[in-house]
Amino acid sequence: MNTVLSRANTIFAFTLSVMAGLTFCCFLTTSMNDHLSPIKIDVNKIIVKNVQDFSTTRDKNDLGFITFDLQADLQHLFNWNMKQLFLYLTAEYTTPNNKLNQVVLWDKIIRRGENARLDYRSLHSKYYFFDDGKGLRGNQNVTLTLSWNVIPNAGTLPRISGVGSKTFQFPDEYTPGNARI
């Protein structure tokens, strides 16, 4: 404290300590949030094809196409300790080969300040809905859920499942090659 430099060092170190404490308090104010929100998913068109998945094998695999509606109001999730939400729509189903299959069909990033009231109609999936075999045709129990990651300024990165899901079934017949939805 007897020279300018040592005083500057002390003040800077103290400021950084206080800032760390403030950040921790900011985390504490939001640590009790459950980040839950009701959502509504509907499925419109469902077809399944049997095509070659070039990325894995020469065999033909089942490829599902769906369009879906999605309504969710996530505005109330945002607080001062949240930078962005990462939403992703997952399809979950069981096949004879695997007890649990999870495929991410669609995702979206909502930054702070952007519109978090989602109202989509007839949305196409972003990513291919490939099964790793022939488990989609006639599958009676495919469940769509919307989940999200909370990306905070400070604290944990919770992974939340939205309240509400949609179960649908794939048709029993393949749609021929070039047909589109």
Of the residues 80, 97, 114, 169, which one makes contact with another protein according to CB under 8 A: 80
Q: What minimum distance in Å lies between the beta carbon of 27 and another protein?
A: 10
| Token code pair at residue 146 | 């919307």
Q: What minimum distance in Å lies between the beta carbon of 4 and another protein?
A: 5
Q: Given the structure tokens 């393949």, which residue do they identify?
A: 174
Work out whether 22 is an interface residue with another protein (CB under 8 A): yes
Of the residues 46, 47, 77, 81, which one makes contact with another protein according to CB under 8 A: 81
Beta carbon nearer to another protein, 85 or 146: 85
Q: What minimum distance in Å lies between the beta carbon of 21 and another protein?
A: 8
Taking CB under 8 A as the criterion, which residues in 28-57 touch another protein?
A: 29
Angle at 169 between CA 163 and CA 172, to 5 degrees: 170
- Strand spans (E) along the chain: 39-52, 60-73, 82-93, 101-111, 117-124, 129-130, 142-152, 159-168
Work out whether 12 is an interface residue with another protein (CB under 8 A): yes
CA dihedral (63, 66, 72, 74) positive or negative: positive
3-state secondary structure of 43: strand
| Token code pair at residue 22 | 């403030």
Distances (CA, A) of 51 to 95, 112, 156, 179: 18, 40, 41, 12
Work out whether 181 is an interface residue with another protein (CB under 8 A): no
Work out whether 175 is an interface residue with another protein (CB under 8 A): no
Q: What minimum distance in Å lies between the beta carbon of 7 and another protein?
A: 6
Nearest to residue 105, comparing CAs of 96, 92, 118? Answer: 92
Of the residues 19, 36, 109, 163, which one makes contact with another protein according to CB under 8 A: 19
Residues that bind another protein (CB under 8 A): 1-4, 7-8, 10-12, 14-15, 18-19, 21-23, 25-26, 29, 79-81, 153
